[in-house]
Structure 1
Amino acid sequence: MGGVLSQLYLTLETFFSLTSAYSKLSKRVNTSPGIPIPNPSVPYWTIPPSPIAKHTHDELPEFADVVIIGSGITGTSFARQLLDMYYGGGKGKGKDVDKDKDEDKKPLKVVMLEARDACSGATGRNGGHVRPDSYPEYAVWKKKFGLEEARALVRFRRSHVEEMVRVAEEEGLVEDSQARRVQTYDVFYEKVFLDDMKSRLEVYLEDIPEEKDQWTVYLEDRESIYDLQLSDRVAGVISTTVGVLHPYRFVTGILERLLGSYPESFYLFTNTPCTSISEPIQSDNYIIRTPKGIIRAPHVIHATNGWASHLLEPMRSKIIPVRGVMTAQRPGTSLGLSPTSTTVNGDAGDTQTAGSWRGERSFLLFPGFKELQFDYLTQMPQPSTKLSSSSSESTISSPPKYSAASGELMYGGGFFHGGVLDYNLTDIGNVDDTDWDRGIEAYLSGALSSGVDGGWFGRHWGEEARPEFKGDGAINSSQGEETLGKGRVMKVWGGIMGFSADRLPWVGRLPSKIAGRDSRNKMTEENDEVSSLAAPGEWIAAGFSGEGMVQAWMCGKALACMVLDKDETMLPDSLHITEKRWRRARPEDAM
């Protein structure tokens, strides 16, 4: 009897704990995220900071044609496309544009507002992956949207790999941004889950046969898995080609170029949050309030992802902030050296390793049976690695401004490793990126190399790396060595993602009901100076659900075409924001 009562007590305790947890969660999800918190944790990516990290201007303009809120990858993509297309014919180059070649074209004034330093949100905090993980969700898309729209979603996401590399080339940022193609590996510990994912891949490739030669499945071939330097416990691997880059240097490098190319048209105000937006009374200009003053503008662009519902109250519970954890770690001394690796002397007399895969792979790691239980891992290139984003001889590459990468492992995730309760529901709806979940930090700090045959790489890890070990990723004192850990873990930081209630981004003109303000739909004489733009209104590109690197850039680019009133065909129909979609999206579906 005592045992039954004890079990009943535990059941009731669990029930009330869950009830209390979900009650608090519901309250957070439906509460404004506010503006980003000052003095957030420092990501490894931002050491050293960009020259434009704290860029601002003397005075806030009283009027702008377009105000962009957010300086991450979405806002930067939008600004680049808008300005380069408006002045340069849409080629996207923008380095030597002649803004006077069209005498009838009126000047365009674009203001970008950032609550903290430039690129201080999710873009400057993520894992650097540019990997379109489409095959696990493809069957769901096909059932929900039909064959052609499912294919459109696949093409849209995959286009980011080539697009990011191409943009890095055009901007002369290949070296600084480390933009490159790599081989990626979905690694599974459990064969049952591996078989499930393999079946999903077969369905995907049946409808998209042009990709069949781009995928490899390693199952019972233990020799191949050994050559990949993975743990003996790994059940199998699914592999293809994707991209990686240094997201912070990519974005800040483009912003720096825009400031130089368009000094009279593009204004970046960091540490200048937008505190409120008021609909116009007698004109088509929205009133945008900041601590530095007020700006009037006919177009407002919401590019704040997890913080979007601060200014768009109806989007609360439609875009949900979720806090994640990232780390930068030194690799074991043998990791990246395949059994056939050899040491050779480079052209400049430096020591290089032939056959090394350091900096040439990325991973998605599944330890159990759940799709949402995963880690993600990229590696920065070795100092001697020659970054080549394509075989084209026309690649533009300027000398890097920062210290060379040294094979650092960028490792994040830790989601749901002990189930939903162990994940800690307080990270859902949490926008405090000054801190992070310490339990997840502990997991990430040991998961790569725990035990002789534990961890993801097992016995291939080798001797534990030390700060003095050559090529371990140490940064010299002038660039912030004092902020780095001396052991395996060099840096830990938190970041805020924006999860969409229906798992797809929200892109386009905001209807009045969703904006919570009157949507302007006519052009007055006051704003006729830039009549080539679309009718005034508020616009959004946000809700990337942790996959912004394969969604945000093209969403921002498509949004710029909409504001320029140009034909836009790159965006899948299912990503457009509509009242019907807004009504149907439920946060419980995302959770």
Structure 2
Amino acid sequence: MPSSITDQSAASNGNVPSCLPVDNPGECFWQMAGHDLSNYRSTDKLPDHSDIVIIGAGYAGVATAYHLAQEHGELAGSITILEARSACSGATGRNGGHLRPDLYGHIPTFIDRAGAKAGAEIAEFEIAHVKAMKKFIEEENIDCDFTMARSFDVWCNKEAAKKAKAIYDYMVSEKFAHMDDVAFYTGDQVEGLCGVKGAVACASYTAGTIWPYKFIMHLIQKLVSSNKVNLQTNTPVLSIDADENGGYSIKSPRGQMHAKRVIHANNAYVSGLLPEYTKNIVPCKGICCRITVPDGVRAPLLNNSYIHRTDDNVLSYLIPRADGSIVVGGAAAKFKSFRDQWYDNVDDSVLIEAAKDYYSDYMQRTFNGWENTGASVQRIWSGVMGYSYDSNPHIGQVPARENQFILAGFNGHGMPVIWLASKEIAKMVAQGISFEETRMPSLFKTSQFRIDRAQKGREEDGDILGTGNFPATKQ
């Protein structure tokens, strides 16, 4: 815990939340150019009151504020975002730039647990993000390097490829509409199709890539320039207490303010203010890097993004960029056994020692045509994600906490979830509708059942450390 936050917190109320971001995150490629509003405060002092206070200025918090301000005009001007560090300095501004729906990860697990309809809801909800984001970015003319192309799932392990093909066949047999966009390949031509050495199977479907930091900062620019939202950076929230006159008193090192409603959009750090989520959403570190070739060397062309699984099942996610560089991350299998380096760890100022060298010659090892390019890691960084016990985000009204809402726990997979989820939770907050009246997948709803299941369950039975063997019980 950084001394500056600790000292300020202690001076403020004698207690420090159990989960706060460190105040010295390591440098990250996406944020190197900075932004004029990174450390912006709309007002010198905190407002005395806001109808809505949003905790967190990452994707979830800013997107929710945007939808509230743009689509529920009566609230514009009475929304405050409180951010512990600079704007978009957390997981959103440190991720891999992948806007990629999940078809081969947890969807089959969700089908097993809750049925085909529940699994299809999630897949279709995520797929809808690609078109929705493309439409919005084009309408707003946002400079964020957005592309839409094919994404390859690649398997180099024969047994894993066999299981993947079985999953593909099963999902096709269920007649899920989105499977019409998926092509699955096996046989001698696979390596030639995807360009990955040793590939034995691959699948492709439509996905996007994006510069997340630029996208979020564009939204912030629009919100603060129109005075629709009061942004307060470098303002960690220390406590939220019920006010005797209604609403909530929110304390920070810079003083306190009153809010009628609170939205917890601080992802990995949510349990610091909502301790019931301690085992439900756990901060977990990941690693990502940017790879470049030397000046004067032309990088071989890659038109697709990738999920790549090696023969020993180390997974990496990768996007190519127009400047010839590559952003790639993952390698969790290399550091999973070093639990102290990543699990329940919020220090994104420190790299994960067990994996920090994994990507040194990754392109040469992995892709045909890159052997003599001299490609190397130009910059590497860590990020803190919020992983949930059952691999589903927690969204909706916080149980037993009136007028408090949560949008968190994205398992490193928030890009194809948050935009439309934040639009729906904005309706819940502004219009008072129930979760069931939204278009969100049913498994995303936060509930006392889910909270209790994680609190009472064993860590190894959840999806973060174990195999997710808890019973398939209705929520």
SS of alignment partner, residue 558 of structure 1: helix
Distance 1:159 1:189, change over 3 A: same
| Range that drifts further, 239-248 or 198-207 | 198-207
Alpha-carbon distance in structure 1 between the residues aligned to 2:120 and 2:176: 11
Of 372, 384, 387, the residue aligned with 1:499 is: 387
Query: Residue 360 of structure 2: SS of its match in structure 1?
Result: helix
Which residue, 304, 307, 312 being the options, matches 2:266? 304
Which ranges of structure 2 fall in alignment gaps of 5 or more residues? 1-15, 466-475
Distance 1:106 1:375, change over 3 A: closer
Q: Distance in 2 between matches of 1:237 and 1:574?
A: 28
1:33 to 1:129, Cα distance in 2 relative to 1, 3 A: farther
Deviation at 1:458, TM superposition (A): 4.1
Native 8 Å contact 2:69 2:76 kept in 1: no
Give 3-state SS (helix, strand or coil) of 1:238's partner.
strand
Q: Which deviates the most, 115-124 or 198-207?
A: 198-207
**Structure 1 equivalent of residue 292 of structure 2:** 330
In the alignment, residue 562 of structure 1 is paired with which amino acid?
M
* Counterpart check, 1:76 vs 2:43: no
**Amino acid aligned to 1:412:** G
Residue 230 (structure 1) aligns with: 196
Looking at structure 1, the residues matched to 451 and 68 of structure 2 have their Cα atoms a distance apart, in angstroms, of: 27
Corresponding residue for residue 402 of structure 1:
none
**Could you say which residue in structure 1 is the equivalent of 2:361?**
446
Change in Cα spacing, 1:58 to 1:136, as seen in structure 2 (3 Å) is closer
Q: Deviation per CA, 1:476-535: give whole Å up to 9, x if none.
A: xxxxxxxxxxxx2111111001000111000011122xxxxxx33xxxxxxxxxxxxxxx
**Pairing of 1:148-167 with structure 2 (within 5 A):** 148-167=117-136
Partner of 1:375: 316
Aligned runs of 1:308-387 on 2, under 5 Å?
308-331=270-293, 333=297, 335-337=299-301, 357=302, 360-368=303-311, 370=313, 373-381=314-322
d(CA) in 1 for partners of 2:194, 2:331? 22
Cα separation, 2, equivalents of 1:167 and 1:336? 31
Residue 407 of structure 1 deviates from its aligned partner by 2.1
**Secondary structure of 2:334's match?**
coil
* Structure-1 residue corresponding to 2:19: 34
SS at match of 2:72: helix
Note closer, same or farther for the CA distance 1:189–1:493 as it changes in structure 2 (3 Å cut): same
* Poorly superposed stretches of 4+, deviation over 4 Å: 105-108, 331-335
Q: How far did residue 155 of structure 1 move?
A: 1.1
* Partner of residue 51 from structure 2, selected from 62, 65, 70: 65
8 A Cα contact 1:335 1:462, kept in partner: no
Residues 361-440 of structure 1 aligned to structure 2 (within 5 Å): 361-368=304-311, 370=313, 373-381=314-322, 406-417=323-334, 420-421=336-337, 423-440=338-355
Residue 204, structure 1, aligned to residue 171, structure 2: yes
Deviation at 1:555, TM superposition (A): 2.1
Q: Please, which of 559, 562, 573 is the counterpart of residue 428 of structure 2?
A: 562
> Which residue does 2:410 correspond to in 1?
544
Q: CA deviation at 1:219?
A: 1.7
8 Å Cα contact 1:135/1:204 also seen in 2: no
CA RMSD of aligned residues (A): 2.0
Distance of 2:231 and 2:166 partners within structure 1: 48
After superposition, what is the alpha-carbon deviation per residue over 1:95-122, rounded to whole angstroms, capped at 9, x for unaligned?
Answer: xxxxxxxxxx576410001111110000
1:548 aligned counterpart, secondary structure:
coil
The residue that corresponds to 1:129 in the other structure is 98
SS across alignment from 1:320? strand
Instruction: Describe the shift of the 1:106–1:156 C-alpha distance in structure 2 as closer, same or farther (beyond 3 A).
Output: closer
1:260 positional shift:
1.6
State how far apart, in whole Å, the 1-side matches of 2:131 and 2:371 are.
32
Pick one of 241, 253, 270 that aligns with 1:291.
Answer: 253
Could you tell me how far 1:198 is from its partner in structure 2?
Answer: 1.2
Q: Deviations over 1:130-164 (max 9, x none)?
A: 11122333332122112222211111111111122
> Which of 156, 163, 185 in structure 2 is aligned with 1:218?
185
**Are the structure 2 counterparts of residues 187 and 317 from structure 1 closer, same or farther at C-alpha, using a change threshold of 3 Å?**
same
SS across alignment from 2:387: strand
1:573 lines up with 2:442 in the alignment: yes
Deviation at 1:34, TM superposition (A): 2.5
1:109 aligns with 2:83: no
2:469 aligned residue: none
Q: Distance in 1 between matches of 2:194 and 2:111?
A: 33
Query: Letter of the aligned partner of 1:49 in structure 2?
Result: G
Where 1:65 maps in the other structure, the secondary structure is strand
Contact in 1 for aligned 2:17/2:238 (Cα 8 Å)? no
Normalised by the size of structure 2, how large is the TM-score?
A: 0.88
Check the 8 A contact 1:69/1:75 in 2, yes or no: yes
Contact in 2 for aligned 1:179/1:245 (Cα 8 Å) = yes
Corresponding residue for residue 473 of structure 2? none
Matched residue count = 439
- Aligned partners of 1:114 and 1:272 also within 8 Å: yes
**CA–CA distance in structure 1, aligned partners of residues 439 and 344 of structure 2:** 31
Structure 1 match to 2:399: 511
Work out the CA distance in 2 between the residues paired with 1:284 and 1:86. Answer: 23
CA shift for structure 1 position 306 = 0.5
Label 1:557 to 1:107 Cα distance change in 2 as closer, same or farther (>3 A): closer
Q: Distance in 2 between matches of 1:258 and 1:295?
A: 21
1:187–1:364 CA contact under 8 A, matched in 2:
yes
What's 1:353 paired with? none
Three-state SS of the structure 1 residue aligned to 2:279 is coil
1:32·1:313 contact (CA, 8 Å) conserved in 2?
Answer: no
Partner of 2:45: helix, strand, or coil? coil
Residue in structure 2 matched with residue 530 of structure 1 by the alignment: none
1:457 has 2:420 as partner: no
- Find the counterpart in structure 1 of residue 32 from structure 2: 47
Provide TM-score, normalisation by structure 1. Answer: 0.71
Cα separation, 1, equivalents of 2:175 and 2:326: 33
